[in-house]
Structure 1
Amino acid sequence: MRIRLALLTACLSLAATALPARAAASGTHLEGRLASGAAYVMDVPASWNGTVLLYSHGYTPAGAPNPAQNTPGPAVRDRLLAEGYALIGSSYASTGWAIAEAVPDQLATLDLFTDTFGAPERSLAWGTSYGGFVTTMLAERHADRLDGSLSMCGLVQGGVANWNSTLDPVFALRTLLAPDSGVRLASFTDQAEAVAAAKSLTSKVDAAQRTSEGRARIALAAALHHIPGYNDASQTRPGPTDWAAQQANQYAAVRGLLHLPAFSWRQEAESRAGGNPSWNSGVDYTAMLARSPLYKEVTELYKEAGLSLRTDLSALARAPRVSADPAALRWMRSTSVLSGRLTDPQLNIHTTGDALIPVQSESAYRRAATAAGSAGLLRLAYVDGPGHCTFTAGETLAALRTVEHRLDTGRWDVSPGALNRRAVAEDPAAEPRYVRYRPAAYPRPHDLAHPGDARP
């Protein structure tokens, strides 16, 4: 249903344009481009129930195909359309760290929907991954346009905290595995330099994985990013004290972090910010590790390897630190930091085994919302499963129904039992996995608008 309109781009004016709508007994499917150049897609059932769902999609790497999306997947889309929901969303005008384009493009999509189909009775924003960040930005800064929101596996720690937290593990890996390599961790000249740095550090990590000492140090780096020991559905779930299996699973995730987010994606974000927005000056890695739920694993692997953890932590403390470029940090703070100030209800859901956006990001946003006085409007729920955004259709729909229940009744009902009953009702064939869970504190100083902000 999502057809890219690249061949038509040159024909479109600066105003929002559309292909002729495909009308049928089942409803209307509409595609086109906004004035910004972003593509949009809308599906409106013939018997529209008055609710529009504005979907924000996840991160699209620079240069990758960028179609408009209006749902997380076809099963969810088909179920919602059959029930009368209108589904809309845009591609955002650019790929990469496109928050400055994503928010206005999503608002423009909502405006166009209203102009075309009439004002909705209820407007809900929802999104996955980076789109959960976009959704929360919409909820905080444009609450007048929405009635509620759902952030799924969202990057709700915000941009400054995200890039800070991706710096920590690579700093540890370079310091402990390649101290004389000169591998650059930030302030890249171009994408080629970032890719070369990623390849260089990855080769050191691959070599280290073949020794017990190297595996212990990789586990330490993973702990600084809160990478769980079970983070992919293809992995066998390790036992609670199977440190070797947990570390092997983390190694795979560390390689993924090096491959794209920590270097290639960082360089793209730096190109927008005009420099490096991250720092680790003043960060106490000994204290950070002590607070990590992975502390026991790290200490046991160091013991097995015959290494001194104290010595390695001292090496991290002595190593030259990375400083942020003030102008780049100002840009990231102005465009990409969440405040926690909500006006309407928001539900956040997250898988417990997420290595890309660790579940601890929810702790950061809970803290911000509490400090901003919005705690009563925010609820968090957790799915016991590995991977990033690996919710079943039933779990996704259960979360959406929960937001609607809150709007209908004025009361939250986010117990695992209630969410699992809703998930079973939506998808009887899948075992629901909502559980009681409280993530650890976010692993390092972050930059949300609440008392106790850390500053570089």
Structure 2
Amino acid sequence: MRHGTRIAAGAALLLTLTTAPAATADTGTTTHVDGQLPSGATYMMDVPANWNGTVLLFSHGYNAGPANPAQDAPDAATKPLLLQQGYALIGSSYASTGWAVTDAVPDQLATLKAFTTRFGQASRTLAWGRSYGGLVTTAIAERHPDEIDGSLSMCGLVHGGVANWNNTLDPVFALKTLLGSDVPLVDLPTQEAATTAANTLTAKVDSAQSTPEGRARIALAAALHNIPVWNAPTQTRPAATDWDAQQANQYDAVKGLLKIAAFNRRQEAEVRAGGNMSWNTGVDYARLLAESSVRKEVTELYKKAGLSLTKDLAALNRAPRITANPAAVAWTSSTSSFTGKLTKPQLTIHTIGDPLVPVQTESALKRAVTAAGSGPLLRQAYVDNAGHCTFSPAEQLAALHALEDRLTTGTWRGTDPASLNTRATAADPTTPTRYVRYHPTPYLRPYDLAHPADRR
């Protein structure tokens, strides 16, 4: 059955209770509930005895499977702090793993319905999520605003599905073209074929890393995805002009992109969409590099290698292009691209050193929200750390409290870095507080429903 049919069934799901009896455990301070939805998704709920009336609907990130557990909090360290402060926590597993937005949204709303039936109407409902769960959260915020009071996306794919897959295509297209490979980048028939393609291109990258020319070309590919030069907490933060150290850090992230998203996750998403949903026809790679956050590093490494950047960019622009399947684009656009229309407040937070979902995705969201006239409802904040979703409990609690303050007062206040750090320290003085003033560069391949004539 095509997964898109779950959207049409969403209203019916909301009127239906669980198909299996919920299991309840009471510790004296928290009531824990496990249950199952008609879709087959499981859910979990944790309600403290001192419930403050607010329920937090948590959407988890991408799960490749086969295990598919429910999750109602971002991490084990943050969860007890939330319960101590009186929040009710709920979340589902989604009925399927992978790019499961057409399952995730109705399953999350059905979980909220099950909570209300069991515990009563919350005085305030907040949707929040991390990574892919940020996309799910933003979909709920746009398409089901009457179900929530506000939303918080953390390190989210708030640029939407089409933009995500277009920008994931660009670095592998550059690697294939410049390193000399014939691996298929799209229309991957099976997970096995995707793994073979990923391994083949990774071997090319490993070989290229041993030469100055190869390292410059890997840096160019990284720049087309805005991969930051400090992108994992285990890395040393390189100096501003230490181009070699910067590239070495990006090399690790490029290999991670090949292993995680560029092939296997793409293949799974293509199956759902019914074909390839991304393209690079009409893309000027010289222009993309000019807008990249790390273009200076690329130019310096090309100079050091004695390699012509102009010639390599021309080679990319001459290379045979990839066209999308229109029906697959339409499916991805309708299920996981955004209009930018908000009717309830949304706060987003992002680490500045995220290699998997680059911080520039926040620029894409702001672009759509501004075009839709919803700018006053959006605030964005940034954490000075490397890695994907590497927030401390204190930083997550500070964002949550800032959103609540907006709902209580009707005005955004205390979302500047100093105020957020103060909130974070007050919420949890034992973990880091690293909010900073930051303005991400433009997202390189934006696609949203607020710009109907702009299909970059």
Same fold at TM > 0.5: yes
Contact 2:351-2:387 within 8 A present in 1 as well? yes
Please state how far the C-alpha of 1:15 moved relative to its aligned partner.
4.2
Please state how far the C-alpha of 1:255 moved relative to its aligned partner.
0.2
Once residues 432 and 75 of structure 2 are traced to their aligned partners in structure 1, the CA distance between those partners, rounded to angstroms, is 19
Match of 1:17 in 2: 20
Once residues 29 and 14 of structure 1 are traced to their aligned partners in structure 2, the CA distance between those partners, rounded to angstroms, is 17
Match of 2:63 in 1: 60
**1:20 aligned counterpart, secondary structure:** strand
Contact 1:229-1:247 within 8 A present in 2 as well? yes
Match of 1:41 in 2: 44
Match of 1:10 in 2: none
Match of 1:5 in 2: none
User: 1:259-288: per-residue Cα shift (whole Å, max 9, x none)?
Assistant: 120000000000001100000000010011
Output the aligned Cα RMSD.
Answer: 1.3
Letter of the 2:50 counterpart: S
TM-score (norm 1): 0.95
Letter of the 1:45 counterpart: P
Match of 1:31 in 2: 34
Match of 2:82 in 1: 80
Letter of the 2:364 counterpart: A
Once residues 454 and 184 of structure 2 are traced to their aligned partners in structure 1, the CA distance between those partners, rounded to angstroms, is 24
| Paired residues for 1:349-364 under 5 Å | 349-364=349-364
Match of 2:113 in 1: 111
Match of 1:239 in 2: 239
Structure 1 residue ranges without an equivalent (≥5):
1-12
Match of 1:418 in 2: 419
Match of 2:198 in 1: 198
User: 1:199-246: per-residue Cα shift (whole Å, max 9, x none)?
Assistant: 111110000000000000000000000000000011000000000000
Please state how far the C-alpha of 1:454 moved relative to its aligned partner.
3.3
**Equivalences, count:** 440
Contact 1:42-1:86 within 8 A present in 2 as well? yes
**1:22 aligned counterpart, secondary structure:** strand
Letter of the 1:263 counterpart: F
Letter of the 2:119 counterpart: F
Once residues 455 and 439 of structure 1 are traced to their aligned partners in structure 2, the CA distance between those partners, rounded to angstroms, is 21
Please state how far the C-alpha of 1:140 moved relative to its aligned partner.
0.5
Once residues 384 and 88 of structure 2 are traced to their aligned partners in structure 1, the CA distance between those partners, rounded to angstroms, is 30
Contact 2:23-2:35 within 8 A present in 1 as well? no
Please state how far the C-alpha of 1:40 moved relative to its aligned partner.
0.2
Moved more, 298-307 or 426-435: 426-435
Match of 2:403 in 1: 403
- Of the three residues 136, 140, 151, the one matched with 2:138 is 136
Match of 1:175 in 2: 177
Letter of the 2:168 counterpart: T
Letter of the 1:314 counterpart: A
Match of 2:102 in 1: 100
Once residues 218 and 20 of structure 1 are traced to their aligned partners in structure 2, the CA distance between those partners, rounded to angstroms, is 51
User: 1:11-38: per-residue Cα shift (whole Å, max 9, x none)?
Assistant: xx99432333112321310001100000
Please state how far the C-alpha of 1:127 moved relative to its aligned partner.
0.3
Identity among equivalent positions (%) equals 62
Match of 2:155 in 1: 153
Change (3 A) 1:94 1:378: same
Once residues 134 and 315 of structure 1 are traced to their aligned partners in structure 2, the CA distance between those partners, rounded to angstroms, is 38
**2:77 aligned counterpart, secondary structure:** helix
Please state how far the C-alpha of 1:450 moved relative to its aligned partner.
2.1
Letter of the 2:274 counterpart: G
* 1:437 counterpart = 2:438: yes
TM-score (norm 2): 0.95
Change (3 A) 1:434 1:14: closer
